[in-house]
């Protein structure tokens, strides 16, 4: 595992914890954090031991989004370099969304701008009820551009029209109501709900979980008719894998599958 300057990465058995670690600036992300987060997710993808990734933030807040001093520096570069830096940031979000391991988010304090974007990019997010979210970019004269596909996939274009245009802040309960997070709970219960979700993921077949993630990506743009050839091939292939033989066999034999600890 690489050593990181802006992340705190550690493993607890099959669970890889990636914690944003610039607490003095509320885990705002600069160029170094963008590079490192992408690298950490690439490593998670390749890590044969890791079955679940938990993304969280050290200190008072999950993340205050892009580091505004860094954003200003980027804006002062040549147009080509400015664009390249923005693309690197966009690819960081993609590395999370496309990670073959399930990614669980744990959000507390603030998750603003890109922090809301990271919440949207993970597979399932859990937050404290008082966590403050917001697509605040317009308040700063910018827009939530590279995070827009992730946020819109979670909350829909209709809600995005209000939240992108006003930049208003909202709490964890509202984030749950609009589907940005899976569950909002009092902060004292946050680790418990994250752990429960991790437990559910660990009791599922690892290849099946990766395949389910890929299935959602592949099926989302299709009509019901278009989906038939793809989805029938998909289940035909999956039910013939050794993992499926073990999973279904374990149920029929009334025992635990061999991946359940």
Contacts (CB under 6 A) with ligand COA, residues 94-113: 110, 112-113
**Region of residue 254 (phi > 0: left; psi between -120 and 50: alpha; otherwise: beta):** left
Asked if 75 touches ligand COA (CB under 6 A), the answer is: no
d(CA 214, CA 253): 29
Binding segment for ligand COA (CB under 6 A), chosen from 12-20, 56-64, 77-85, 120-128, is 56-64
The contact pattern for ligand COA, residues 24-43, with x = CB under 6 A and - = no contact, is: -xx-x---------------
Site map 126..145 versus ligand COA, x via CB under 6 A: ----------xx--x-----
User: 64 CB contacts (<8 Å, ≥6 apart)?
Assistant: 25, 26, 27, 28, 110, 112, 113, 115
* Complex with ligand COA: residue 35 or 67, whichever CB lies closer: 67
Binding flag, residue 67, ligand COA (CB under 6 A): yes
Interface with ligand COA, residue 66, by CB under 6 A: yes
DSSP 138-197: GGGT---TTTHHHHHHHHHHHHHHHHHHH--EEEHHHHHHTTSSSEEE-GGGHHHHHHHH
Q: For the chain, how far is it from start to end, CA to CA, in angstroms?
A: 24
The span of 8-16, 33-41, 64-72, 229-237 binding ligand COA (CB under 6 A) equals 64-72
Binding ligand COA by CB under 6 A: which of 44, 55, 62, 65? 65
Q: Interface with ligand COA by CB under 6 A: which residues?
A: 25-26, 28, 60-61, 64-69, 110, 112-114, 136-137, 140
């Amino acid at each position: 595992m690489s050593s990181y300057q802006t992340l705190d990465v550690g493993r607890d058995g099959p669970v890889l914890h990636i914690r944003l670690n610039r607490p003095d600036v509320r885990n705002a992300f600069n160029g170094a954090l963008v590079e490192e987060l992408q690298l950490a997710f690439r490593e998670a993808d390749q890590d044969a031991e890791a079955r679940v990734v938990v993304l969280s933030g050290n200190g008072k807040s999950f993340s205050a989004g892009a580091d505004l001093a860094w954003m200003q520096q980027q804006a002062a570069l040549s147009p080509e370099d400015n664009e390249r830096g923005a693309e690197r940031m966009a690819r960081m979000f993609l590395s999370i969304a496309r990670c073959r391991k399930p990614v669980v988010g744990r959000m507390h304090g603030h998750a603003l701008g890109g922090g809301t974007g990271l919440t949207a990019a993970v597979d399932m997010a859990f937050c404290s009820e008082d966590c403050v979210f917001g697509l605040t970019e317009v308040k700063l004269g910018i827009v939530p551009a590279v995070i827009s596909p992730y946020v819109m996939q979670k909350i829909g274009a209709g809600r995005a029209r209000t939240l992108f245009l006003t930049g208003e802040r909202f709490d964890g309960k509202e984030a749950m109501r609009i589907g940005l997070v899976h569950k909002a709970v009092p902060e004292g219960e946050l680790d418990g709900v994250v752990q429960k979700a991790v437990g559910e993921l660990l009791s599922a077949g690892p290849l099946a979980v990766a395949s389910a993630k890929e299935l959602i990506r592949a099926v989302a743009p299709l009509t019901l008719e278009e989906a038939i050839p793809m989805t029938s091939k998909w289940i035909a292939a999956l039910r013939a894998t050794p993992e499926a033989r073990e999973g279904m066999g374990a149920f029929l034999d009334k025992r635990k599958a061999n991946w359940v600890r």
